[in-house]
Amino acid sequence: MPLDPDLQELTTARQSIISYDWVDNADGTGFVGYYLFSTEDNSDKNYHLGRNAVYSAVTEVVDGTGEDFDLTTFNKARIIKGTAQIQIPFNVWGSGTRTQYLTVTLKNGATSIVSVQTKTIIAATATVQGVHGLKLVIPETFFAAGDVLRLTIVPTRTGLGWDRYGIDPMNRQGANTNPITQSRIFIPFKIDN
């Protein structure tokens, strides 16, 4: 029996479904969570942002010097706008008094978009550990196909000692960033209605 011609238009049309959380759709913003992690080969250590919980080459950054965590290039144009949430576990130890804070900057490649600073941690002959909970208020920012979203973390410190922050999506126990090593950022992408 042949298909009714009135039904052919519906059944032969292209089939696609896009699903959004209702709140995201109502707000016009969808949050995407990314883990911070590293890879390492014979010649280089690289830092990345990724959606999957993978094993990082190292569980923590020790006495960082300014690490760039890059997302892979965008395959299509995207717009970010809203308040990003960031969680970074830390551990600071001082021989005498050690102070440390992190400056976290969101970038489009090398161009800075917005920056925020953590509270200053003071470790006086003791270990201080916890989780930096930060928010970045991001103005509407256009990313073209081929652009790279980058998160840069720069520690500033004084005094003797060491400081570390966790970067393991699998949340393995670090040497000193106990008990948490998983850092995340939640980016607000604009949804076209």
- pLDDT single digits (tens) 93-128: 888 788 888 899 989 888 999 899 988 888 887 888
Residue 4 has pLDDT above 90, yes or no: no
Q: Is residue 138, in this structure, part of any structural domain at all?
A: yes
Q: Is residue 11, in this structure, part of any structural domain at all?
A: no
Q: Identify whether the C-beta of residue 169 lies closer than 8 Å to the C-beta of residue 59.
A: no
Indicate the pTM of the whole model: 0.83
SS3 25: helix
Q: Is residue 46, in this structure, part of any structural domain at all?
A: yes
Q: Is residue 14, in this structure, part of any structural domain at all?
A: no
* Phi, psi torsion values for 48, nearest 5 degrees: -140, 165
Q: Is residue 2, in this structure, part of any structural domain at all?
A: no
- Strands 78-108 and 149-166 turn out to be antiparallel
Domain that holds residue 106: 34-190
Both tokens assigned to 39: 């890879």
Q: Which helix (H) or strand (E) holds 24?
A: helix 22-27
What CATH code is carried by the domain that includes residue 186? Answer: 2.60.120
SS3 172: coil
Q: Is residue 134, in this structure, part of any structural domain at all?
A: yes
Residue 23 has pLDDT above 60, yes or no: no
Domain count, the chain: 1
Q: Is residue 121, in this structure, part of any structural domain at all?
A: yes
Q: Which helix (H) or strand (E) holds 6?
A: helix 5-11
Q: Is residue 156, in this structure, part of any structural domain at all?
A: yes
